[in-house]
């Protein structure tokens, strides 16, 4: 089979599906987006910038449907689960751009662990060192 054709019988073929539900899952989805980028080392303002970016379809959809105050509240809530206090600047202020691959440094220079702090699952909390 040619490389660019999808084989529906291939069990290892990556395939996305939509699951329709009457339940509103936007809160769980929002928390997941925030926690994912928090664990990647993004600052709260950078996470908010992702929600404002139309190229991030899921987070931007939440911002459009639930509003800026809801997203800001969720960012404060999720960062709080990880023992971090958050102060977001004015909604109209320019926000920092997420880090690019060009700015990457070796993980040994980038991540330290906060002594005595743990995430909700009990794992050590990483702290980005700039």
- Kindly report the pTM of this predicted structure: 0.58
Would you give the end-to-end CA distance of the chain in angstroms? 47
Q: pLDDT for 54-63, tens place per residue?
A: 888 899 999 9
> Structural domain boundaries of the chain?
26-88
Q: pLDDT for 68-98, tens place per residue?
A: 999 999 999 999 999 888 877 654 444 444 4
What size, in residues, is the chain?
A: 130
Confidence of residue 17 (pLDDT cuts 50, 70, 90): confident
Q: For the chain, give me the number of helices (H) and strands (E)?
A: 5, 2
Confidence of residue 9 (pLDDT cuts 50, 70, 90): confident
Sequence-ordered list of residues with C-beta below 8 angstroms from that of 116, at least 6 positions apart, any chain: none
* DSSP bridge pairs for 112: 127
């Amino acid at each position: 089979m040619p490389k660019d054709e999808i084989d529906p019988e291939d069990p290892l073929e990556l395939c996305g599906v939509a699951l329709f539900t009457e339940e509103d899952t936007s809160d769980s989805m929002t928390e997941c987006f925030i926690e994912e980028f928090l664990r990647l080392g993004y600052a709260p303002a950078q996470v908010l910038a992702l929600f404002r970016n139309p190229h991030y379809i899921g987070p931007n959809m939440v911002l459009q449907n639930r509003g800026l105050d809801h997203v800001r509240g969720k960012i404060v809530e999720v960062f709080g689960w990880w023992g971090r206090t958050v102060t977001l600047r004015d909604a109209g202020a320019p926000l920092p751009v997420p880090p690019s691959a060009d700015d990457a440094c070796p993980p040994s220079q980038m991540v330290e662990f906060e002594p005595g702090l743990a995430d909700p699952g009990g794992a050590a909390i990483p702290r980005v060192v700039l």
